[in-house]
């Protein structure tokens, strides 16, 4: 398990599957398209959205995800 600090300054714990998902898809600050994810990855992404780790943008029925973490603080 690992702690992540969101932009609001709230720390939340993420498990190893969520951590590997973040490391795999969010090495850069780019958007992640929802259509490129499997059903399992969509579930992980949605659970991270619910906890404030990811932001979800929906535009014309297409979803995309981006990190919502505080970059000024290192854990």
| Residue 10 vs residue 59, higher pLDDT | 59
**What pLDDT, on a 0 to 100 scale, did the predictor assign at position 72?**
54
Q: 51-57: which pairs have CB atoms within 8 A and are 24 or more residues apart?
A: 51/12, 52/6, 52/7, 52/8, 52/10, 52/12, 53/4, 53/6, 53/12, 53/14, 53/18, 53/22, 57/31
User: Helix, strand, coil proportions of the chain in percent (round to 5)?
Assistant: 35, 30, 35
pLDDT tens digits for 31-67?
899 999 999 999 999 999 999 999 999 999 899 999 9
For residue 12, pLDDT over 80 is answered with yes
At 4, is the pLDDT very low, low, confident or very high (cuts 50, 70, 90)?
A: confident
**What pLDDT, on a 0 to 100 scale, did the predictor assign at position 28?**
81
Instruction: Walk me through the domains of the chain, giving residue ranges and CATH numbers.
Output: 2-67 (1.10.10)
Q: Is 66 helix (H, G, I), strand (E, B) or coil?
A: strand
pTM of the model: 0.84
């Amino acid at each position: 398990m690992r702690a992540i600090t969101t932009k609001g300054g709230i720390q939340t714990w993420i498990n190893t599957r969520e951590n590997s998902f973040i490391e795999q898809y969010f090495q850069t600050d780019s958007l992640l398209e929802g259509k490129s994810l499997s059903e399992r990855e969509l579930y992980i992404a949605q659970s991270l959205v619910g906890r404030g780790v990811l932001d979800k943008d929906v535009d014309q029925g297409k979803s995309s995800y981006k990190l919502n973490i505080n970059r000024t603080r290192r854990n």
